[in-house]
Amino acid sequence: MGKFKRKIAKSYDRFLTRKSFLPDGLFVLVKEARARKILEFGCGTGTVAVGLSLEGYDVTGVDYSPEMLKIARQKAGAHGTKTRFFNGNIIDIRLPERFDLLLCLGNTLPIITSLSDSRKLLRNCLNHLNPGGILIIQILNYDRILKTRPGTFATEILEDLVRVKQYRYGKNLIDFVVSLIDTARIPPKITVRTGKIRPWARADLIAELRKARFVHIEAFGSYSGGKFSAESKDLIIRCETMK
Res 7: pLDDT: 45
Cross-strand pairs, 240: 134, 215
Cα torsion 209, 110, 129, 51: sign: negative
CA 184/CA 88 separation, integer angstroms: 36
Distance in angstroms (rounded) separating the CA atoms of residues 166 and 194: 9
Do 42 and 83 fall within a single domain? yes
Task: Give dist(CA 162, CA 48) in Å, integer.
Answer: 24
H-run or E-run covering 54: helix 47-54
The pLDDT value recorded for residue 12 is 54
The model's confidence at residue 6, banded by pLDDT at 50, 70 and 90, is very low
- Kindly state whether residues 187 and 217 are assigned to the same domain: no
Residues 114-134 have a mean pLDDT of: 98
Task: Let me know whether 135 and 231 are in one domain.
Answer: yes
> Strand ranges (DSSP E) for 141-233?
152-158, 161-169, 174-182, 189-197, 215-220
Clarify whether residues 193 and 204 are in a common domain.
no
CB atoms within 10 A of CB 57: 20
Number of CB atoms found within 10 A of residue 210's CB: 12
The total number of residues shown for the chain amounts to: 243
DSSP assignment letter at 80: T
Percent residues over pLDDT 70 in the chain: 92
Distance CA 140, CA 10 (A): 23
* Residue 168 domain boundaries: 144-197
- My answer on whether 23 and 42 are in the same domain is yes
Strand order of the β-sheet with 215-220 is: 84-87, 58-63, 37-41, 99-104, 129-140, 234-240, 215-220
Are 138 and 236 in contact by the 8 Å Cβ rule? The answer is yes
Same domain as 104, residue 49: yes
Q: Mark whether 68 and 170 lie in a shared domain.
A: no
Tell me: do 183 and 224 sit in the same domain.
no
Both 128 and 62 in one domain: the answer is yes
Residues 223 and 122 occupy one common structural domain:
yes
Q: What is the pLDDT of residue 4?
A: 45
Q: Name, in order, each residue with C-beta under 8 angstroms of 205's C-beta and a sequence gap of 6 or more.
A: 109, 137, 139, 235, 237
From 70, 73, 65, select the one nearest 42 (Cα to Cα): 65
Least Cα distance to 101 among 242, 243, 238 occurs for 238
- pLDDT, tens digit, for every residue of 58-105? 999 999 999 999 999 999 999 999 999 999 999 999 999 999 999 999
pLDDT of residue 158: 87
Q: What is the CATH number of the domain that holds 191?
A: 2.20.25
Q: 100 with 80, same domain?
A: yes
For 133-191, how does the pLDDT look when each residue is reduced to its tens digit (9 = 90+)? 999 999 999 999 999 999 999 999 988 999 999 999 999 999 999 999 999 999 999 99
Q: Structural domain tally of the chain?
A: 2
Closest CA to 29 of 234, 166, 226, 233: 226
Q: 3-state secondary structure string, 90-150?
A: CCCCCCCCCEEEEEECCCCCCCCCCHHHHHHHHHHHHHCEEEEEEEEEEEECHHHHHHHCC
CATH code at position 89: 3.40.50.150
Residues 203 and 181 occupy one common structural domain: no
